[in-house]
Amino acid sequence: MDKPLYLTFDDGPQPGSTDVILSILAEYGAHADFFMIGRQVAAHPDLAAAAYAAGHGIGNHTYHHPSLCGIDHATMRAEVSATREVLGALGSGYLRPPYGYSDLHTARVAAELGYALLFWHVDPRDWRRPGAEVIARHVLRNCFPGAIILLHDGGGEERSQTHAALHLLLPALIGQGYALRSYCRTHPHP
């Protein structure tokens, strides 16, 4: 039985984190998706290119990371379009609203721009830095085949707990028969 699982990382790319995560994923033969902030891609295009070249998916996470809930049409279009421009051919057809905040307007504008919204099933709140074991335990207790897991590689915070959690999670998940894949690349959105 096929047991896909989709790790996703938000708020990068961030030097000292995205590159570390890419190395850890490579060590375990795992693929993931990175929902990137446009201004971060503009500052660190090499990290975005490295993630894509390694077989990971790249999603749009807006240019400045504003909440899209209640945002006006022109501002949302500008945020998403500016990130699409800096991502270029690396980008997929998926948009993750910052904070997971969305309303009917968000979905409509995303569709107008050719994007599908992609959220998550499991959030261990790694951004709170509760400890690597807590992060790993939450994912292991709550994951299921086809689940999308939310983690972070950016946001200006130190992410060593997320890195350490990956060293706990990846062998455990692989041992349970999960195939760690890129959602964006295995479910292309036209």
Write down the catalytic residue from 61, 152, 153, 163.
152
| In the chain, where the domains are located | 4-186
152 is catalytic: yes
Supply the angle between the helices 73-87 and 104-112 in degrees, to the nearest 10. Answer: 50
Digit-by-digit pLDDT tens for the chain (190 residues) are: 689 999 999 999 999 999 999 999 999 999 999 999 999 999 999 999 999 999 999 999 999 999 999 899 999 999 999 999 999 999 999 999 999 999 989 999 999 999 999 999 999 999 999 999 999 999 999 999 999 999 999 988 899 999 999 999 999 999 999 999 999 999 998 6
Q: For residue 5, what is the enclosing H or E element?
A: strand 4-10
10 is catalytic: yes
Supply the angle between the helices 18-28 and 160-175 in degrees, to the nearest 10. Answer: 20
From residue 87, give the alpha-carbon distance in Å to each of 69, 93, 97.
23, 11, 16
Q: Residue 189 is which amino acid?
A: H
Write down the catalytic residue from 10, 19, 126, 153.
10
* Assigned token pair, 58: 């790249």
Specify the length of the chain in residues: 190
CA distance 106 to 73: 9
CATH superfamily of 4-186: Glycoside hydrolase/deacetylase (3.20.20.370)
